[in-house]
């Protein structure tokens, strides 16, 4: 998430070369293992977007979660993804990208907040999803303000 917030532009391309980013992150205090893991995760995002978009799922199909996906996402996570798809923030292609990237995380890292972040990253990297991205950002901000009241 730190890389996404501080080093990304309109796509999942780092603004400077990876070695420069690695050195800067090490200076800040991130360890090399975590840095490599984050860069690998972002590379995986690029790869899955290319592969999923080439084989468009049927818009009327129903998504059944594998047992390991069910365990990782939990009922609340599955419900969130279904809700986001029903209100047209996610489409079947973006949903598959999000699920793939959630499965690439450590199981202890997957919660509703992290799911929202992964959805934001997947939408952010797709220029044709700007309206969905804006809607999701508004939804997250509304939830944040509800917590503050």
Residue 66 has pLDDT above 90, yes or no: yes
Q: Phi/psi of residue 14, each to 5°? A: -70, 145
CA count, 13 A, side-chain hemisphere, 69: 14
Q: What share of the chain is helix, strand, coil (3-state, %, to 5)?
A: 75, 0, 25
Among 2-11, 39-48, 111-120, 130-139, name the most confident range.
Answer: 111-120
Q: Binning pLDDT at 50, 70 and 90, where does residue 100 land?
A: very high
Q: Count Cβ atoms below 10 Å from residue 84 Cβ, excluding itself.
A: 23
- Is residue 38 very low, low, confident or very high in pLDDT (cuts 50, 70, 90)? confident
Q: What is the pLDDT of residues 72-89, one digit of tens each?
A: 999 999 999 999 999 888
Q: Mean pLDDT check: name the lowest of 10-19, 23-32, 64-73.
A: 10-19
What six digits make up the tokens of 123? Answer: 């939408």
Domain count, the chain: 1
**Which domain does 88 fall in, by range?**
2-148
CA dist., res. 88 & res. 62, Å (int): 15
pLDDT band at 149 (very low <50, low <70, confident <90, very high): very low
Q: Mean pLDDT across the chain, nearest whole number?
A: 79
């Amino acid at each position: 998430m730190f890389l996404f917030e501080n080093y990304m532009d309109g796509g999942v391309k780092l603004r400077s070369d990876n070695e420069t980013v690695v050195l800067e992150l090490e200076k800040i205090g991130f360890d090399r293992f975590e840095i490599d893991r984050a860069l690998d995760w972002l590379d995986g995002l690029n790869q899955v977007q290319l592969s999923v978009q080439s084989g468009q799922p049927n818009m009327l199909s129903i998504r059944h979660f594998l047992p390991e996906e069910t365990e990782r996402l939990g009922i609340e996570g599955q419900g969130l993804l279904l809700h986001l798809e029903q209100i047209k923030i996610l489409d079947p292609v973006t949903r598959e990208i999000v699920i793939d990237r959630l499965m690439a995380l450590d199981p202890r890292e997957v919660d509703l907040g992290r799911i929202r972040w992964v959805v934001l990253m997947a939408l952010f990297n797709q220029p044709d999803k700007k309206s969905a991205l804006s809607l999701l950002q508004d939804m997250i901000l509304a939830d944040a303000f509800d917590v503050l009241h």
